[in-house]
Amino acid sequence: NAGVTQTPKFQVLKTGQSMTLQCAQDMNHNSMYWYRQDPGMGLRLIYYSASEGTTDKGEVPNGYNVSRLNKREFSLRLESAAPSQTSVYFCASTLEWGKNTEAFFGQGTRLTVV
């Protein structure tokens, strides 16, 4: 029962470097999400994919891109990392879009940009 798996768990980047955060779910869920978590800010939605083949912006999409590679995988890319992107990133999935179902989260990626 892996659920939602994120890689890597920790990463340190220099300003201007790029990287891709990987997320995979094995629950046959249709919808996937990327959140960032910052102290005092809660969870803020970066991008989401309501279904395979679609992606859309959330609250804080600037500086990020996503790819829904297939039904299982949803990646988040930072093209040119900035210190403001230092955060903990969570991937999540839900069975359906538009229905109020439980969101399952990965363990998170702690990213530091220096």
Q: Which residues bind another protein (CB under 8 A)?
A: 4, 33, 35, 40-45, 48, 58, 90, 92, 97-100, 102-108
The span from the CA of 53 to the CA of 19, in Å, is 22
Give whichever of 91 and 113 is closer to another protein, judged by the CB atom.
91
109 close to 6: Cβ distance less than 8 angstroms: yes
Is the preceding peptide bond at 39 cis, omega within 30 degrees of 0?
Answer: no
For residues 26 and 79, which CB has a smaller minimum distance to another protein in the complex?
26
Taking the complex as a whole, how short is the minimal distance between the CB of residue 114 and another protein, in angstroms?
21
What's the closest the beta carbon of residue 16 comes to another protein, in angstroms?
28
Cβ proximity to another protein: between 62 and 100 the closer is 100
Calpha distance 74→64 (Å, rounded): 13
Residue 8 — φ and ψ, nearest 5°?
-80, 180
Quick one: tokens of 17? 């470097």
Least distance to another protein from the beta carbon of 105, Å? 3
CB 34 within 8 A of CB 48: yes
CB of 91 to another protein, least distance (A): 8
Our CB check for another protein shows the closer of 64 and 90 to be 90
